[in-house]
Amino acid sequence: MAGFASTTDLADKIVSFDELGPGLYAYTAEGDPNSGIIVGPRGVTVVDAQATPAMAADVQARIATVTKLPVDTIVLSHYHAVRVLGASGYPAHTIIASDVTRDLIAERGQQDMDSEIGRFPRLFRGREGIPGLTWPTATFHERMTLWLGEREAQVIRVGRAHTAGDTVVWMPREKVLFAGDTVEFGATPYCGDAHFTDWPGTIRKLRELGAEKMVPGRGRALMNANEVAEALAGTEAFTSDLFAIARAGAAKGATLAQVFGEAMEKMRPKYGQWVIFDHCMPFNVSRAYDEAQGLDRPRIWTAERDVEMWHALQGSVRSGEIAR
């Protein structure tokens, strides 16, 4: 039985460290999870901490090429392990997350940690250095502002999309957006904990900000308004297309396996070249099918549920069970 598609993705990725403006940088790696960097007058703020302390060390090595200041603040865009478990590798004394994200860590953080380590062995190399769950030291409900000298960074819980607690960091003067996984570019949105009904409205709020540069959750840094618009449109189209298939399947009484087969058949021609498409789709369809049947709160993924679901749906594809 084949394992998760990502278990065979063991090649190191080429890291890019791109300047978005004075003191603003994007740490990206060919579709791996991104981090954003804001250099302030007394310290550095990192948006998303990476998966392990070892990976955090690489982020800090890039930061050291542009400033001697330490990382003193981390903003978590959401609770997923690949974004947060590297936090202990920074000297930061402040870790910021939305109150909803903290609640999700308390409810399902350990299960998510265990399941993600099984899904992404390359991203969690050095996992023995992870001391445990990452807990925020400060939370907010809707928005807060970080004043980094005269520089304003708005930390906004923008709406349900990739998770219920999604947070972005918006630099209004520079028109730079650190979007977390609410937006991807050339990479498949992971929707296993998503809220499909709300995601288009969240995209609309992001579009209204008028960003001219963006660090998406995955994919390269976006350096102009046209690229930002393309990323927003692509993420919205993917999630809307998938949810439409799930709703239609649920309405006619199709099984999860049948909906998965149909989604793979219809979506691969348009999106199959995006990074981690084959890995994400079983999780994505499972959540879309649940929501289409009225389950508003995503079920918790565990390592055991991951394997059970993956094997069942991979078997359905091999046997040719595709809804027509």
**Residue ranges per domain, the chain?**
5-318
Phi then psi dihedrals of residue 308, to 5 deg? -60, -45
Q: What is the pLDDT of residue 125?
A: 85
Q: Is the separation of the CB atoms in 194 and 215 below 8 Å?
A: no
Q: What is the pLDDT of residue 8?
A: 57
Q: 169 has which bridge partners? A: 155, 178
Give dist(CA 38, CA 25) in Å, integer: 7
Q: What is the pLDDT of residue 3?
A: 53
Q: What is the pLDDT of residue 2?
A: 52
Q: What is the pLDDT of residue 320?
A: 40
Which of the residues in the chain have pLDDT under 50?
Answer: 1, 317-324
For 148-166, b/e burial (b = at least 16 CB within 10 A) is beebebebbbbbbbbbbbb
Taking the model in full, what pTM does it have?
A: 0.94
DSSP state of 127: G
First to last CA, the chain: 26
The Cβ of residue 315 has, within 10 Å, a number of other Cβ atoms equal to 13
Give dist(CA 84, CA 309) in Å, integer: 25
Q: Specify the CATH superfamily of domain 5-318.
A: Ribonuclease Z/Hydroxyacylglutathione hydrolase-like (3.60.15.10)
DSSP state of 315: H
Strand, helix or coil at 75?
Answer: strand
CA atoms within 13 A on the CB side of 20: 31
Q: What is the pLDDT of residue 108?
A: 97
Give dist(CA 116, CA 133) in Å, integer: 13
Give dist(CA 73, CA 65) in Å, integer: 18
Q: What is the pLDDT of residue 324?
A: 26
Q: What is the pLDDT of residue 13?
A: 82
